[in-house]
Chain A
Amino acid sequence: MVLFGYRVPMMASLIVWCVIWEIVGRAGLLFLIPPLSSVLVAALALVQTGTWQAAALITLHSFVIGMGLAIVVGITLGVLMGRFKAVDELFGIWVNIFVSAPLSALVPVLMILFGIGETTVIVTVFLFAVWIIVLDTRAGIQHVPNSLIEMGRSYGATTFALYSKIVLLAALPEILAGIRLGLVRGVKGVVIGQLLVSIIGYGELFELYSRSFDMENFWALTIILFAAAMLMSAAIEHVEKKVDYYAGVR
């Protein structure tokens, strides 16, 4: 995009939207949308309160544990499915069903099984994130050229070395992509989980602010959350770009 002769990067248009937000907010068109500036001010104040910090900590805690489990289980299952047809046939249907099913429908079930608390949220995060990680890992493993594996075996690699030095590295671009998508889904999972459970963390705060019509804090919370999600996604994308150079020549 060229503006006044200067190349402007894509994300710069977000600035335009922020300006629009500010204008709409100041005009007072919808009481639901306060000016961006007051939201940002509220955000700064919010971050320093104990309430927010406690909520963020719980949210982060559930998120990290859930994601960690999803990554470990997801990559393992993905590798097994990619390498062994028996495993693939056994788990294939379920992965394909759950990767696009409305998993939020499962949360009430989880609430009964795991109680109304953090465990449910962790399981929700896990379930939201794991399927796409499995699928992408499996795809990555399947794209590893047979010749690379035969090369490893012909030079006498042990199974462990084969996987750690060749297979996982060769599949890394897809695995990272899967983790990035899993992260995005995991954030949705932690939010939905907490909203439905509604007595802890961010979910609780969202409920609080929306019920009392405290729009500045509501949007402040939202922006912080969205920004965190985008930053994580961008961080993984950065790592992905670093390994992308060999994706084309596998």
Chain B
Amino acid sequence: MAPSQVDGPVRAVHAPAAARPGFGRALGRYPALWRVASLALFFLAWEIAGRVPISYAFPTFSATFAALASMLFDGSLFVAYAETLQPLIIGVAISGVIGVGLGIVMGLSRSAEWLVAPLFIVLQAAPMAALIPLITFVYGIGLVAKTLAVIMLALPVIVLNGYKAVRNANPSLVAMCRSFQGTKLQQIAKIIIPDASPVIFAGLRLGLAAGFIGVILAELLITPTGIGDLITYHRSVANYAEMYAAVVSIILVSTLTLAALESFEMRVLRPEKRRG
């Protein structure tokens, strides 16, 4: 039985079957190396798949990234995102304000919780996408419709996170505040809200992720604008490299934004929980 790696983290109890002597140590010392390797492998596989080719409509990795670069430099990507981000930002902002407010009220009031929580639990589990085509009939195909699509998807998750955060605020801290004769208002403002902030913020982050989904769906289902337009246009003229480039850009933008928010969350809001 191979001895468990002393250098690696405790969770890897089994040494990998094909472990070579220096392997584990290299793993432990350069995790970034592994991430780079993983990316490189993926891109290599993509390149090969494109050259085979596995489908006439499957561009190589290099072709896609060339297209991405060209779209970046000729500005078409910026123009597209300027349009796409509008309903996203507006929608998430509105959802954030309403959602956090509603979440706080529900967290503090049992009757509000009883009335509203089940509604949002259903809305979060339900495939809201099915309702998106419906929006167009009342609100047309413009900014309002798309913003509504974003709100529909982002609001439930923000509300539910906010209300759970407030309701699960550290009871010991609340008792401490009461013991020093803190009024109800002081308890809410000085203890409950600060204690709930990290989870509320996480809810906002998840709301943004849901909002991304909403805006993309809106652009694909309602009417193409912005980045959705780039995708459908390039598909219609068989510019597959450009089309894939647009899709990659969406994944990139959403991943980077969410990662930035998560890193902000860890550093600023929860320094004591920083991942070691």
* Shortest beta-carbon distance from B227 to chain A in Å: 8
In the bound complex, CA of A222 to CA of B54 (Å): 38
In the bound complex, CA of A100 to CA of B256 (Å): 11
* Shortest beta-carbon distance from B234 to chain A in Å: 10
- Residues of B61-114 at the interface with A, using a CB-CB cut-off of 8 Å, are 110-111, 113-114
CB-defined contacts of A196 to chain B, threshold 8 Å? 220-221
- Residues of A158-209 at the interface with B, using a CB-CB cut-off of 8 Å, are 184, 187-188, 190-192, 195-196, 202, 206-207
Q: Is the CB of A195 within 8 A of B10?
A: no
Which one of A86, A108, A202, A207 lies within 8 Å of B231 (CB-CB)? A108
In the bound complex, CA of A141 to CA of B117 (Å): 32
- Per-residue CB contact flags for chain B residues 134-147 toward chain A (1 = under 8 Å, else 0) read 10011000000000
The chain A residue with its CB closest to the CB of B5 is: A85
Q: Is the CB of A192 within 8 A of B129?
A: yes
- Per-residue CB contact flags for chain A residues 85-97 toward chain B (1 = under 8 Å, else 0) read 1101111111001
Q: Which of A10-18, A40-48, A69-77 is the interface stretch?
A: A10-18
Given A89-B34, A109-B247, does the pair A210, B212 have CB atoms closer than 8 Å?
Answer: no
* B163 interface hit (Cβ, 8 Å): no
* Shortest beta-carbon distance from B212 to chain A in Å: 4
Q: Is the CB of B115 within 8 A of A86?
A: no
In the bound complex, CA of A238 to CA of B13 (Å): 32
The chain B residue with its CB closest to the CB of A203 is: B130
Which one of B110, B118, B129, B232 lies within 8 Å of A191 (CB-CB)? B129
In the bound complex, CA of A89 to CA of B250 (Å): 24
Q: Is the CB of A233 within 8 A of B16?
A: no
* A243 interface hit (Cβ, 8 Å): no
In the bound complex, CA of A113 to CA of B54 (Å): 9
In the bound complex, CA of A226 to CA of B125 (Å): 8
The chain A residue with its CB closest to the CB of B206 is: A100
Tier of interface size on chain B: 35 or more
Q: Is the CB of A206 within 8 A of B11?
A: no
Identify whether the interface residues of A are mostly helix, strand, loop, or mixed: helix
Which one of B5, B13, B27, B39 lies within 8 Å of A83 (CB-CB)? B13
CB-defined contacts of B58 to chain A, threshold 8 Å? 112-113
In the bound complex, CA of A100 to CA of B205 (Å): 10
Q: Is the CB of A32 within 8 A of B134?
A: yes
Given A11-B118, A90-B41, A196-B221, does the pair A229, B12 have CB atoms closer than 8 Å?
Answer: no
The chain B residue with its CB closest to the CB of A143 is: B11
Q: Is the CB of B130 within 8 A of A1?
A: no
Q: Is the CB of A16 within 8 A of B115?
A: yes
In the bound complex, CA of A103 to CA of B81 (Å): 17
* B42 interface hit (Cβ, 8 Å): yes
Which one of A16, A85, A188 lies within 8 Å of B8 (CB-CB)? A85
* A49 interface hit (Cβ, 8 Å): no
CB-defined contacts of A24 to chain B, threshold 8 Å? none
* B182 interface hit (Cβ, 8 Å): no
In the bound complex, CA of A102 to CA of B220 (Å): 12
Q: Is the CB of A108 within 8 A of B235?
A: yes
Q: Is the CB of B57 within 8 A of A112?
A: yes
* B200 interface hit (Cβ, 8 Å): no
CB-defined contacts of B131 to chain A, threshold 8 Å? 222
Q: Is the CB of B118 within 8 A of A90?
A: no
- Residues of A1-26 at the interface with B, using a CB-CB cut-off of 8 Å, are 1, 8, 10-14, 16-17
- Residues of B2-32 at the interface with A, using a CB-CB cut-off of 8 Å, are 5, 8-14, 16, 23-24, 27, 31
Given A82-B11, A89-B31, A107-B220, does the pair A230, B231 have CB atoms closer than 8 Å?
Answer: no
Q: A-side interface residues toward B, CB under 8 Å?
A: 1, 8, 10-14, 16-17, 30, 32, 82-86, 88-94, 97, 100-109, 112-113, 142, 146, 149-150, 153, 184, 187-188, 190-192, 195-196, 202, 206-207, 210, 213, 218, 221-222, 225-226, 229-230, 233
A-B contact pairs, 5 of them (CB 8 A): A32-B138, A94-B42, A102-B213, A106-B247, A226-B126
Q: B-side interface residues toward A, CB under 8 Å?
A: 1, 5, 8-14, 16, 23-24, 27, 31, 34-35, 37-39, 41-42, 54-55, 57-58, 110-111, 113-119, 122, 125-134, 137-138, 206, 209, 212-213, 215-217, 220-221, 231-232, 235, 240, 243-244, 247, 250-251, 254-255, 258
Q: Which 9 A-B pairs have the closest CB atoms?
A: A89-B34, A1-B114, A191-B127, A112-B57, A188-B127, A102-B212, A102-B213, A85-B12, A226-B126
- Known A-B contacts: A84-B16, A89-B31, A112-B57. Give 13 more (CB < 8 A): A14-B119, A32-B138, A89-B38, A93-B39, A113-B58, A188-B127, A188-B128, A191-B130, A192-B127, A192-B217, A195-B129, A196-B221, A230-B126
